[in-house]
Amino acid sequence: MSLPWCDNPFPMYLAPMAGVTDPIFRTLCKEEGADVMETEFVSAEGVLQAWKRNRRYVEFEQQHRPLGIQIFGSVPEHAAAAARIIVDAMHPDFLDINAGCPVPKVVGKNGGSSLLKDLPLLQNIASAVVKELGSDCPVTTKIRIGWDAQNICAPEAVVRLQDAGVQAIAIHGRTRSQQYGGKADWRMIDHCARLVQIPVIGNGDIASPEDVKRVRETTAVSGVMIGRAAMNAPWLFRRAKVYLNTGTIPPEPTAKEKLDFMLRHTRMAIESAHYGDELITMRAMRARLLAYAKGIPGSKAVRPSLARVSSLAELSDILATLC
Ligand SMILES: Cc1cc2nc3c(=O)[nH]c(=O)nc-3n(C[C@H](O)[C@H](O)[C@H](O)COP(=O)(O)O)c2cc1C
């Protein structure tokens, strides 16, 4: 079973980001040119114990396809059973296993990046999920390069995952110890990509169209995955695509276009009620609005107001002072 979107000369993935890559943001990134997307992760145990409550984390619209649903877990049979529930209910294009999350809540349950300390277990989880899903849904995995600088295990991990029948691997070029600090190690990502026949998607610090072109030309990855830079500037996908296709980098959106984008994102989020009522949605949007506002002339002065904004009308008034 091959992944058709990997026939795209160089697919650009929107990285899964808990609390960020909700359905509305995915719709916006799709419009801006993201080729492949994933939901934020859901716990395999949570799926088994309370599927109805956890289902909302993995809901998506047909227009988001190709889309993967990401799970984390530490017990092969449970991961496989959860994958089966998800695939039968949601029919994603792929099921992704998280072996990179550094947060204590996940690592403490032996999930996420703690699997990098036990590669046989990681392989068993992948094998169990692959076996359970058979030809119903391809399985992929997202890893970091290792637990810490003394324990870089990605080269062994990618070979084991390929042996387990995983169809693609995304590698975030940092260790768990680095969290989000330091620099992503693209030489290690490149090395791993050359060790396996399945597509490796490179991830970490891709922030500009030039970055996308550079890793396409200088590494063996089959595509890139973009996280924080897309959170601040979803139009990066579109600009990178034009650059790859034509050699010319389109300008960034104007300040006015960015302000319109902020209002539209907020309006869509409120209408979707994904987070709850208008006030709860605005609370969820504050960090996003602050990220979008970076670099807009005059935005420093309104940052305190954006950090407290509690309605669409108020946001509209704040942004009007920037036009
Ligand atoms: C707020 C936030 C939430 C994240 N949530 C997830 C997640 O649910 N699953 C996952 O595999 N990675 C998660 N990540 C990691 C990103 O997918 C990505 O690997 C990381 O940000 C590095 O890519 P970047 O340098 O392009 O941001 C998260 C990152 C951030 C900043």
pLDDT digits (tens, 9 = 90+) for 252-285: 999 999 999 999 999 999 999 999 999 999 999 9
Among the atoms of ligand 1, which is closest to the Cα of residue 20?
1
Output the CA 37–ligand 1 centroid distance in Å.
12
> In terms of domains, do 178 and 129 share one?
yes
> In terms of domains, do 10 and 128 share one?
yes
Last residue of a domain, one of 197, 212, 246: 246
Among the atoms of ligand 1, which is closest to the Cα of residue 96?
11
Tokens, residue 253: 């959106």
Judge whether 205 and 177 are in contact, CB under 8 Å. Answer: no
The mean per-residue pLDDT over the stretch 141-167 comes to: 98
Output the CA 210–ligand 1 centroid distance in Å.
21
> In terms of domains, do 184 and 276 share one?
no
pLDDT over threshold 70, residue 124: yes
Q: Give the C-alpha separation, 168 to 7, whole Å.
A: 13
pLDDT over threshold 90, residue 134: yes
> In terms of domains, do 73 and 28 share one?
yes
pLDDT (0 to 100) of residue 77: 98
The mean per-residue pLDDT over the stretch 132-157 comes to: 98
> In terms of domains, do 241 and 135 share one?
yes
CATH of the domain at 179: 3.20.20.70
Confidence of residue 323 (pLDDT cuts 50, 70, 90): confident
Each residue's pLDDT tens digit, 280-294: 999 999 999 999 999
CB burial readout 207-243, b (16+ within 10 A) else e: eebebbbebbeebbbbbbbbbbbbbbbbbbbbbbbeb
Output the CA 206–ligand 1 centroid distance in Å.
12
Last residue of a domain, one of 213, 246, 279: 246
> In terms of domains, do 211 and 297 share one?
no
> In terms of domains, do 234 and 275 share one?
no
Residue range of the domain that includes 284: 255-320
> In terms of domains, do 240 and 259 share one?
no
Q: Candidates 17, 175, 176: which one to mutate for ligand 1, based on the most atoms within 8 Å of Cβ? A: 17
* pTM listed for this prediction: 0.96
Judge whether 212 and 224 are in contact, CB under 8 Å. Answer: yes
Percent of the chain with pLDDT over 70: 100
For the Cβ of 121 lying below 6 angstroms from any atom of ligand 1, the answer is no
Confidence of residue 40 (pLDDT cuts 50, 70, 90): confident
The mean per-residue pLDDT over the stretch 114-135 comes to: 98
> In terms of domains, do 266 and 169 share one?
no
For the Cβ of 172 lying below 6 angstroms from any atom of ligand 1, the answer is yes
Residues 6+ apart with CB under 8 A from 278: 270, 311, 312
The mean per-residue pLDDT over the stretch 29-33 comes to: 98
**How many domains does the chain contain in total?**
2
Q: Give the C-alpha separation, 195 to 192, whole Å.
A: 5
Q: Give the C-alpha separation, 39 to 132, whole Å.
A: 21
Percent of the chain with pLDDT over 90: 96
> In terms of domains, do 170 and 305 share one?
no
pLDDT over threshold 90, residue 56: no
pLDDT over threshold 70, residue 1: no
Last residue of a domain, one of 217, 246, 275: 246
The mean per-residue pLDDT over the stretch 69-90 comes to: 98
> In terms of domains, do 183 and 292 share one?
no
> In terms of domains, do 141 and 38 share one?
yes
